[in-house]
Structure formats: structure tokens, C-alpha cells
Amino acid sequence: MKVNVLVAEIGSTTTVVNAFQDIHSPCPKFIGQGQAPTTVIEGDVNIGLQGAVESLRNNLGVDKIEYDEMVATSSAAGGLKMTVHGLVYDMTVRAAKEAALGAGAIIHQITAGKLKRTDIKKTIEINPNIILIAGGVDYGERDTAIYNAEKIAEAGIKVPIIYAGNIENQEEIKDIFYETGNKLYIVENVYPKIDQLNIEPTRKIIQDAFEEHIIHAPGMKKVREMVNGPIIPTPGAVMEASKLLEEALGDLITFDVGGATTDLHSVTEGSEEINRILLNPEPLAKRTVEGDLGVYVNMRNIVEKIGEEKLQQELQLNIEKLMENHPPIPKTPEEIKFVGRLTLEAVLVALERHAGKLRHLYGPGGKTTVAEGKDLSNIKYVVGTGGALTRLPNSIEILRTALKKNNRNLLLPTEEVRILIDNHYIMASLGVLSKRHPEAALSLMKQSMGIN
């Protein structure tokens, strides 16, 4: 059987392959899925990829599978590990951090100001995939970014460097890394003027650098033998899909609840009323990742947040027993009920941490109200993806309940939003597919979510 496109999602434990047909027609189709254990530890991710294709072949009941294109998302080999170094935390550092998170990175270190010896030591220990240096508005402060670049060059950390700071420093930065052998990417300033974010160029470069250098990660060296299209970080792919859907439908947020983390992606400008009183600019597309909120690996964290006793009373279940025998995929009614409550808590906490809030300041002129953080009050759609929200039977109810828990000071969506579920669990796949086939990706996303 000849398939138009296979999309591989190479996870830390499982590799999934989704097959899409009629990709060049007005009616593209999702035709099947296969999965197998990821084989990074074996030193060759292709073993797992071939296993997932074989699983797909069995599921489709065909003798052989050939494909025109294979594209991929990856969170294997530790995902995209980055360190971010800027000037002032609330300005250039924050802008650089938003760019990295939006690209799908896992940020292991953030520094503001000149790097200390202990900072450099930590960067070496982290051994990031990419280092992002920012600092200074255009034609503003120059010394910090140059100093930090020199310290990183002296440390001999042989990873790609992205410079997204003061435009005046570009030639200097090129000189610093000219003899080190580091691949250097120069991009527009992430914070060119006070209160102006410019994160999209950096976000794109991060994904390009990831694609170019992912094959150097352990076990990933042979990935290009099978994958002949783009490879982007899995969280970045969900963001790409969210942005594509926002262009078609309007302002939205996407919850991606997984076994280890919960990601929240918002794509909205916010309301004019809130924008007028916003203390600092926010990006159109924002991602937050909650590394302590996962319904499998980090299940105990969520139980602690709720309180085991409270959970026992609420669900009328033996919580201790459920925690001891907690499978990755719940099957019994008790397990489903338990994971449903964990998912609700993960969504609630992730939403609270992502949303902006109103603050009241008191001065000589009396009380003034200001806003800080991401305004979600204009959201029209709430999307659920990830293992939990696509497989639990009551996922719409979970999201609806989370939206009812309103805190008056938080800039949250209203209860009138429309809830959509990625029923085929293909949102990340469609994010990377959209790099080459945006119209097909949008059509397939609408099919998965039951949108006519």
C-alpha cells in the first residue's frame, strides 16, 4: 500500500505513526495509526519507527507500506533542552523565554544579567541542545550580551548558539564564535523596543536549529534514513496546530495533558480593554509547561495537591490502592474515575498558572487597576489533546467544570466557549504536517474535532 504521508511522533517511551491519504485533495483522510516502544537507548530510533510502521501495517491489514513523505515530531532523547541568557528578567529574558517555550523547548536554565562562574558551571552540566543569548533593546545596552557570549565561548560548550539581542552586537557576536566551531544563528532582536515583543523569528530559528541538530542526539543519528521531511519538537508541533486552528476559528487555548507534564497553549491578542491596562506585552501565541502536572509519571504530585483524604471522600475509592497499581492507560471504571479527577486538577492548575490577573494599585490619585500576564477573556474555543483528554470518556465535562471555577481577578475564558476534543489524537502530527500541507492539516484537524 502506498501512503501519501506518514507522521511519526517519537516520544520518550513510545513512537506513534499516523498515516494520511489523499493529502493533495480537498478531502484528506486519516487512515490509521501504529505504535511501538521508542528505541533511543538501543542507539537507533529507526528500530522503534520501523516497529510502529509494522504495527500500522497490521492495523490496516495490508502486506506492505510505502510512503511519499515521512515527517516527525520528537520529544525523545530529552526533547529540546535549552538555556536562555538575557539582560533584564522582565524584558529581554522573558521575551527569549517565550520564544523558546513557543518553539517547544524545555528550558533548563534562565539567567538575567552577566553570567557568573556558577551559571557557566550549571550550563556545562545541563549540556543543552541550543543556547539562546539575548539582551538589550536595539541600539541600547550592549555589554551584557557580549560578555555572556564571550563566557560561553570560553567554556567550550559545543552546541548551536542563537543570538537574538541588540542589533548593534551582531558583528561582535559573529567574531566571538568565529573560531569556536559553534553553529551560530543570528536573528532579529526578541525585544527590539521597550514593551515590544518580536518572538516569532526566534521561535522559527529554534525549530530550524532543532531539526538540523536533532540527529546528533543519542539514538537519533539514523533518523534521516526514514524521515525525509521536517522534524520539530512535539510541543512546538501542538503550538503550530493551535495557531493554524486559531487563524480559521478565532481565539483559542489548547490543553495537552500527558503522563509527565501538562502544556497549555493560548493563541489570542486578548481584549482591547485589558490591553490598555497591561503592564507588560504578551505574545500572541504563548505556551506554559507544567512539569509537575502529569497523570501518570507525576500522578502523586497531583494527589498531594488535591489531598489524599479529600480525594478519598470525593471519589469514594481506595486511593492508596489506585496509586500503587496505576497503569499508563486506565481501563477499569475506578481507574478512569481516578485519572479523570487527576486530569481535572491538572487542567485547573495549568489554567490558573497560565492566565493573567488584575491587580489594584493604590497611590496619591486613589485606586488604579492594572493587568499583568496573558488575557484569556476573549477565548472562543477550548481544545483538548494529549492522552488523557482524547481518551477519557468525560473529557468535555472535565474542561467545562474547569472553566466554571472562576476567580474574579484572573483573566479567564467565559463559560460560553465551545469545547473541542482532538478525538483522533493527531494534533501534534498535524502541526508538523502543516509545515508542508497547511490546508490538509486544517481539514484533518476539523475532522478530528467534529467541525463541519
HEC sequence for 202-231: HHHHHHHHHHHHHHHCCCCCCHHHCCCCCE
Q: What is the DSSP letter of 394?
A: T
pLDDT at residue 220, rounded to an integer: 85
Number of Cβ atoms within 10 Å of the Cβ of 69: 18
Give the span between the Cα atoms of 444 and 381, in whole angstroms.
Answer: 17
Tell me whether the CATH fold assigned to 2-77 matches the one assigned to 81-216.
no
pTM here is 0.92
Percent of all residues in the chain with a pLDDT value above 90, rounded to a whole number: 83
Strands 130-133 and 106-112: unpaired
More confident residue, 264 or 407: 264
pLDDT at residue 214, rounded to an integer: 83
Confidence at 352, pLDDT banded by 50, 70, 90: very high
Quick one: 447 exposed, middle or buried, by C-beta within 10 A (0-12, 13-18, 19+)?
middle
Residue range 428-437: mean pLDDT, rounded: 96
pLDDT at residue 407, rounded to an integer: 75
Q: Decide if pLDDT at 447 tops 90.
A: yes
Residue range 303-327: mean pLDDT, rounded: 92
Q: Decide if pLDDT at 217 tops 80.
A: no
pLDDT at residue 221, rounded to an integer: 83
pLDDT at residue 212, rounded to an integer: 87
> In which region does residue 283 sit, left (phi positive, over 0), alpha (psi from -120 to 50) or beta (all else)?
beta
Q: Decide if pLDDT at 329 tops 90.
A: no
pLDDT at residue 111, rounded to an integer: 97
Q: Decide if pLDDT at 363 tops 90.
A: no
Contacts of 42 (CB under 8 A, 6+ apart): 219
The CATH H-level superfamily of 81-216 is: Response regulator (3.40.50.2300)
Whole-Å CA distances, 136 to 11, 49, 95, 295: 37, 44, 11, 40
CATH T-level fold of 232-421: Nucleotidyltransferase; domain 5 (3.30.420)
pLDDT at residue 303, rounded to an integer: 95
Render pLDDT for 120-169 as a digit per residue (tens, 0 to 9). 999 999 999 999 999 999 999 999 999 999 999 999 999 999 999 999 99
Q: Decide if pLDDT at 408 tops 80.
A: no
The CATH H-level superfamily of 2-77 is: ATPase, nucleotide binding domain (3.30.420.40)
Domain residue limits, the chain: 2-77, 81-216, 232-421
